Structure 1
Amino acid sequence: MDFKHIHIGKLIQQKVDELKIDSNRIGKFLQSSEEEIAAMYHSESIDSGMLLKWSKLLEYDLFRIYSQHLILYAPTSNENLKTEVLTKDLPQFRKKLYTRELIDFILTLIKENEKTKEQIIKEYRIPKTTLYKWIEKYGK
């Protein structure tokens, strides 16, 4: 899984093929024609409302893919720059969400000597203790 370049349409089509969902069922659930569904498969991005419908149909959290991208590639927030308005109006998330796919991605980078442990800790801002726990638990 390439978390840097997300083509959500291809991922949806892959999951549909994996689950062998009939196109008629998809059309009825999404209230879309076969042409519209085919266009979604070719689209790199999809409206969040439609993505929510796909997540329900596929019983798979497609939004999590974007969360993993943010964990790996978005700059860390600076606590000093946060305004009081933002902290009051939007929910604050305390923990990062590490899926098994993300863990496997990181461990593959180490195993194939594409990045060192130090590079991963620095570039992806994964805590050292977390990385070593992953290696111990999943690295075998």
Structure 2
Amino acid sequence: MNLKKIHIGSLVKSKVDEHSMPVERIMKFFSCTEEEIGEMYSQESMDTLKLLRWSKLLSFDFFRIYTGHLVLYSPPTRKDKAVKVGNSKIEFRKSIYTEEVKNFVLNKIKTGKLTSGEVVARYRIPKTTLYKWMKKQ
């Protein structure tokens, strides 16, 4: 999966094919024609309500694909969001790495396209996190 350039219509189509979902069920769910479904498959971007409905129909969170893109390709955030406690600052981080992001990064290392050092530098993933992923693989 290419997380840099997302064509959501083709990703939806591949999930439909993966589930072998009948077109009649999709037409009934969306109250639309087969041509309109074909148009949705050809769209590079999609209305969020439609994408939410596709997510429900196919039991897959398509929004995570965009989250993965943000994690890998967004500019670095400012570090001034830390909470000050006494003389020190505490920064709370939540695990934001989805399975798609982990698989993407590990695949880059496995195929030799990037080294672990390059992954750490390019995507700002902590070394310890990356090494834990590699160890579990």
> Shorter-chain TM-score category?
0.7 to 0.9
Structure 2 counterpart of 1:38: 38
Residue 109 of structure 2 aligns with an amino acid whose one-letter code is: I
Deviates more, 1:96-105 or 1:42-51: 96-105
Structure 2 counterpart of 1:29: 29
Structure 2 counterpart of 1:114: 113
**Percentage of identical aligned residues:** 51
| SS state at 2:114 partner | coil
TM-score, normalised by the number of residues in structure 1: 0.84
Segments of structure 1 that go 5 or more residues without pairing to the other structure are 83-92
| SS state at 2:119 partner | helix
The alpha-carbon deviation at position 9 of structure 1 amounts to 0.4
Residue 98 of structure 2 aligns with an amino acid whose one-letter code is: T
Structure 2 counterpart of 1:75: 75
How many angstroms apart in 2 are the aligned matches of 1:19 and 1:56?
13
Aligned residues: 127
Residue 35 of structure 1 aligns with an amino acid whose one-letter code is: E
Matches within 5 A, 1:56-71: 56-71=56-71
Deviations 1:88-126 (A, max 9, x none): xxxxx9424322232122112112221111110111111
Larger Cα-atom Rg: 2
How many angstroms apart in 2 are the aligned matches of 1:31 and 1:129?
49
How many angstroms apart in 2 are the aligned matches of 1:76 and 1:61?
25
Residue 61 of structure 2 aligns with an amino acid whose one-letter code is: D
How many angstroms apart in 2 are the aligned matches of 1:24 and 1:64?
27
Segments of structure 2 that go 5 or more residues without pairing to the other structure are 82-91
Which is richer in helix? Answer: 1
How many angstroms apart in 1 are the aligned matches of 2:62 and 2:93?
21
Deviations 1:67-104 (A, max 9, x none): 00000000122144x7xxxxxxxxxx942432223212
Residue 16 (structure 1) aligned with residue 47 (structure 2)? no
TM-score, normalised by the number of residues in structure 2: 0.86
Which is richer in strand? Answer: 2
Residue 125 of structure 1 aligns with an amino acid whose one-letter code is: R
